[in-house]
Amino acid sequence: MPSPEQRKKIGQLFAVGFHGREINKEITTLIRDYGVGAIVLFKRNVLDAAQLQALCLGLQKIAKDAGHSQPLFIGIDQENGLVTRISPPIASQQPGPMTLGAAGSLGYAYEVAKATAEMLRYFGINMNYAPVGDINSEPLNPVIGVRSPSDQAETVSKFAAACTKGLREHKVVPCIKHFPGHGDTAVDSHYGLPVIDKSRADMEKLELIPFRDAVADNIEMVMTAHISLPQLAKNGLPATLSPDTIGILRNEWKYEGVIMTDCLEMDGVRATYGTVEGSLMAFQAGVDNVMICHTFDVQAAAVDYVCDAIESGKLSQERVDQSLERLQKLKERYTNWDIALHAEPPETLAAINERGEKLARQVYADATTLVRAQEGLIPLKSTTKIAFVSPGPDVPIGGAVDSGTLPTRVPWIADTFAERIRMKGVRVTDVRFTSSTLTEEQWKQVDEADVVVLATRNARESKYQKELGLEIAKRRGSRPLISIATCAPYDFLDDAEIRTYIAVYEPTVEAFSAAVDVLFGDAQPRGKLPVAH
């Protein structure tokens, strides 16, 4: 058994998650007895504003009382758009990366990141696992997609830099992810180990560009990906566990910031090497901070396993001390006990959210993209009879590791979206589907409508949505059909029979509302497709 002192020292190198909205026995033990230095929050930890602020403050108090010399890092994936852990009504919904890419403004990217950081800081969150540095070069990518601003490396790089600058503004640590680039895979590393069989030369021309630029800008943290790169790493090790891949950052680019892993309970590592063994392998490869999000027994075992490895000489004390020093220096720059134990009043949050909503409205309006339109159809008249057709919950959703509930999150609440159309004073029939056909009654509603508005989500991967959309187009003939892609913009991008096509890049009601404004002539579509077409 490691000594309590050694255990607490090594615990500083771990970032852990926990279940529930209150401080429980497990997280208390990890902070107090295992000296864990960072906490990862998810949607599962969030109930309301008062609870979240009290939770973060409570975690810091445990660390202080346990004798931690520095506050905890408390991190979250507030990428915005598709991956939003703190949502309305707690905080204003901010536009995600591809929405920002469509709006085409680096100024917006900076302002949105700044607004996000200000909101996170209010709650006591001092780290954001953003920006996303992945390039959406594979349209069928199930894990990145709209989490990336573009399929062009230089664009991704510029947006990542703007986001980084905005987060720094309010003292929230930025962390670019997922090195060396998760964009060109059709496998989700939550459920398997993706393989990217590219040469180093090819990756230099694409995937590595945003990360190299971020390192040149002294990005504070880099998160690694659980992807196998046979031409870069021996033994097909995932990047997270590969000395060759981590060596690009450390040895070639001379990066001196903090390197952290993505969650080691994702199947990209858990199913291949195991989370506990993977923790040691990550440190041996040169990583500074290991993330384990879900299971207390695994988290505790990993800390002890690394302690034992130091004792047995499998991991050098010198290697560990380098990581401890990097984390300590980063905490010195971004937090102290006065900041960590301070709580702002609720009025502060109200003002932050008001400013955030105003900014978001502008961005959503500027991002809505009218890809093509049937002549003379838009704007719709208030007398128009509309059938609003949208998919039920069986939809691939793409995204980030959450509370272990993936992929069961439903895409949206139907009446919220339909309601936004009704607010324009028109008659709307709500038609929900979960397969590639409709009931007789639903087909009648589609046939009798003046205009059909079809909302889809990732229809390119979700065959039944694609099939139904094309069937509706066939049945409607020349009668108006408007398709709105509510997530990835590819759904009917190349299907000319869908003559009016709008992309909004994220399944948030705020983004959808901006499209509705365009439909009824209350706004002009100003967005441009940020991916090749």
- pLDDT at 187 (0 to 100): 59
- pLDDT at 238 (0 to 100): 86
pLDDT at residue 442 is higher than 90: yes
- All residues at 6 or more sequence positions from 89 whose CB lies less than 8 Å from its CB, including other chains: none
Among 233-242, 392-401, 417-426, whose mean pLDDT is lowest? Answer: 392-401
pLDDT in tens, 170-186: 999 999 999 998 766 65
Q: What is the C-alpha radius of gyration for the chain, rounded to an integer number of angstroms?
A: 24
pLDDT at residue 398 is higher than 90: no
Among 67-81, 130-144, 147-161, 362-376, whose mean pLDDT is lowest? Answer: 130-144
pLDDT in tens, 65-80: 999 999 999 999 999 9
- Between 405 and 365, the more confident residue is 365
What are the structural domain ranges in the chain?
A: 21-133+161-179+253-347, 368-520
- pLDDT at 141 (0 to 100): 66
The arithmetic mean of pLDDT across residues 158-162, rounded, is 98
**What's the whole-model pTM score?**
0.93
CB 210 within 8 A of CB 156: yes
The arithmetic mean of pLDDT across residues 15-22, rounded, is 97
pLDDT in tens, 474-526: 999 999 999 999 999 999 999 999 999 999 999 999 999 999 999 999 999 99
- pLDDT category, 138, cuts 50, 70, 90? confident
pLDDT at residue 403 is higher than 60: no
- pLDDT at 410 (0 to 100): 43
- pLDDT category, 56, cuts 50, 70, 90? very high
Catalytic residues: 262
The arithmetic mean of pLDDT across residues 32-41, rounded, is 98
- pLDDT category, 411, cuts 50, 70, 90? very low
Q: How far apart are CA 401 and CA 238, in angstroms?
A: 17
Beta-strand ranges (E) seen in 422-465 are 427-433, 451-456
State the CB neighbour count (10 A cutoff) for residue 67.
9
CA dihedral 522, 528, 532, 533 (to 10 degrees): 40
- pLDDT at 230 (0 to 100): 84
pLDDT at residue 420 is higher than 60: yes
**CATH classification code of 21-133+161-179+253-347:** 3.20.20.300
- pLDDT category, 190, cuts 50, 70, 90? low
- pLDDT at 415 (0 to 100): 61
Residue 177, SS3 per DSSP = strand
- pLDDT category, 357, cuts 50, 70, 90? very high
- pLDDT category, 270, cuts 50, 70, 90? confident
Name the residue with tokens 């001196």.
256
In the chain, % of residues over pLDDT 90: 81
- Between 488 and 232, the more confident residue is 488
- Which ranges of 335-380 does DSSP label H, i.e. alpha helix? 337-340, 346-367
- pLDDT at 34 (0 to 100): 97
Sheet of strand 481-485, all strands in order from the earlier edge strand to the far edge: 369-372, 500-503, 481-485, 451-456, 385-391, 427-433
Q: How far apart are CA 163 and CA 210, in angstroms?
A: 12
Q: Which residues pair with 502 in a beta bridge?
A: 370, 484
- pLDDT category, 394, cuts 50, 70, 90? low
Among 1-10, 332-341, 421-430, whose mean pLDDT is lowest? Answer: 1-10
- All residues at 6 or more sequence positions from 392 whose CB lies less than 8 Å from its CB, including other chains: 410, 414, 432, 433, 434
Residue 151, SS3 per DSSP = coil
What residue type is assigned to position 435 of the chain?
A: S
- pLDDT at 60 (0 to 100): 98
- pLDDT at 186 (0 to 100): 59
- pLDDT at 407 (0 to 100): 39
CA dihedral 452, 457, 463, 468 (to 10 degrees): -10
- pLDDT at 227 (0 to 100): 82
Which H or E run contains 513? helix 509-519
What residue type is assigned to position 295 of the chain?
A: T
Residues of the chain by 3-state class (helix, strand, coil), percent to 5: 45, 15, 40
Q: How far apart are CA 431 and CA 197, in angstroms?
A: 43
Minimal CA–CA distance to 117: which of 171, 52, 40? 171
Architecture (CATH level 2) of domain 368-520: 3-Layer(aba) Sandwich (3.40)
